[in-house]
Chain A
C-alpha cells in the first residue's frame, strides 16, 4: 500500500515578463528559500529534489547540472522532468510517488522557466511533428486557434463568453501578489478589442510569457503532521496520454480525451461523483480563454456544450459555487516549467488556508491540472482530510 503523502509548504517568486534582476539560479533559489521558510526546514532535511523545466526555452541543457546551487541539490538524489505543459504536475506526481513508495520522506519539487531569455514561440513550434505539422501550425497560438473554432462550432461558445474567462483570470490575479499580469480594470470589451492574433484568439485571450519559479514540499504522514498544522493531503493523482498527431483527436477542445480520462480516473480514486459539488476550488491549466471553457465541460463541471453558460452564471468566479483559478491562472502567469506546479501550489495554499486575499472560504477539496497541448493531461486532487 502507498503511504499517505501531504504537501506541507510552498514558495513562489514574484512572476514577471522579465526578471532582469536575477539569473536562473537566483530565480530558483528565491522560490526554494521561501518554501523552506514556509516549512521551517533546512535544505539538509530535504531527502530528494525533483526539477521541472522545459529545456530548449532558455537554450540550456541539463539545468539540474548548472543550477545545482540554486536548487540546493548538492549530493541529493535528483531527477529533472521535461514533459511540456504538464511538466509541473508530472514533477508533483513524481514527488508524490517518491514519498508514497516509502523510499524518501521529504521531497521538494521545483519548477522554473525564464522565458525572457529565449524564444518560446520558436521553441514551442518544435512540439509539432516536423514532417506533418510544424511549419503550418504557427506555434501554440495557431494551434489553439484552430481548436477554438472547432470548440465554438461544437458548443456554441461565443467570443464574449471566452472574454469573460480572460477577465476573470486577470481580475483574480490582482489578489495574488506573485501573479505576473495585474489588470484590475480589464473589461470584456478590452479583450474583444485586443489585437487579433489568429481568429478567434485575441491577444488578451492568451496567456503571457513569464519568468518565475515555484517550490513545493511533499512529506510522509508523520512528518507532515509534525511539520504542518494543516497539510494538503494528496487524495488522488492520474495521468493520461493521447495519440501523437494533432489531427488524431477528433474534436480537439470540444472533446479533450486525455483530460476526460485522467479526471475521471482521479475522481474515482478520490470518491468524487459530482465534481462541481464536491470540489471546492480548481486550479486548471487554461492557456487560453477558450480552453478554460472547454475544460469546464471536459472536467465534468457542467454538461457538454455548457462551458459558456457556466461563465455567464458566475459559477467559477471567486465567490461562485466552484471557483476556478482564484490565483489568476495561466492566463495571468506562465513560466512554463513552473506553470503546472504553480497550479498544485495554489491548490495546496487553498487547502492550507494560506491563500490570502484569493482564499476560497472553507476549501476542503481542490483540483490541480497540467495540460500538454491536448495530447496528455495530469491531475492531482488535494484534500483537507487524510485519504
Chain B
C-alpha cells in the first residue's frame, strides 16, 4: 500500500490510428459546409425538431428524417467553459494548447446544440445566452474544423 515501497511496474506504449466513416448524412453535411459554408440540419416530420448532427431518424419520435434545412451561422450559447487543464487532443495525439474556450451552441433554427470552440478565454466576457457567429476556414476540407471557432457578437 505504501507508495514509498519498492513495488515494480512495467511500462507499455500503444500508438494506434483510427479512420471513422462520416456516413451518408455526415457526408452531405460536410460537403455543404466545405463547398458553400452552409450549416445544415434535418427536420423531423412528426415533431418538427431540427437536428444537428444530421441523422437518419428522430430519436424521440423514431420517424425517418428527410428534410434538410439551413441553420445558423449565428446562434446562442447554452453552456460554456474555458479549459485550463492540459489534455491530449485525440485528433492529433498532441497536447492541446490551453487555455481555450468551448461552448454548447444552439444555432438559429436548430433544436439540438453543437459543441465547438469559442475565440475567447476571458471568463468574464462569456455567458449563457450570449450570441455567437461561426467563423469559417478559407480553405475548407469537409470536417467540423471548417468552422474555425465561434466569435462572440456584441451585445
The chain A residues found within 8 Å of chain B, CB to CB, are 14, 16, 18-21, 59, 119, 121-122, 125-126, 128-139, 141-142, 145-150, 153, 195-201, 243-248, 250-252
Contact = CB atoms under 8 A, between A and B. Distances in A.
B85 A197 contact: yes
Looking at chain A's contact residues, the main secondary structure is loop
Interface residues of B, number: 47
Contact of A146 (B2, B14, B91, B104): B104
Nearest to A16: B1
Contacts, number: 130
30 contacts: A16-B1, A21-B2, A21-B7, A121-B88, A122-B87, A125-B88, A125-B90, A126-B90, A128-B115, A131-B22, A134-B91, A137-B115, A138-B81, A138-B96, A142-B81, A146-B115, A149-B81, A153-B129, A196-B84, A197-B84, A197-B85, A199-B81, A199-B123, A243-B59, A246-B115, A247-B113, A248-B59, A250-B78, A252-B79, A252-B104
Given A21-B1, A125-B88, 8 more contacts: A130-B20, A132-B114, A138-B96, A141-B83, A142-B81, A146-B80, A146-B103, A250-B78
Given A21-B5, A131-B22, A146-B81, A247 B89 contact: no
A20 B9 contact: yes
A128 B114 CA distance: 12
A59 B14 contact: yes
Given A136-B102, A198-B83, A20 B112 contact: no
B88 A122 contact: yes
Interface centre among A16, A131, A148, A251 (most CB of B within 10 A): A131
Interface of B: 1-3, 5, 7, 9, 12, 14, 18, 20, 22, 26, 51-53, 59-60, 78-85, 87-92, 96, 102-104, 112-117, 123, 127-129, 143-144
B60 to A, nearest CB: 7
- Please name the 8 residue pairs, one residue from A and one from B, whose CB atoms are nearest each other, closest first: A247-B113, A145-B81, A150-B79, A20-B7, A243-B59, A153-B128, A146-B79, A135-B91
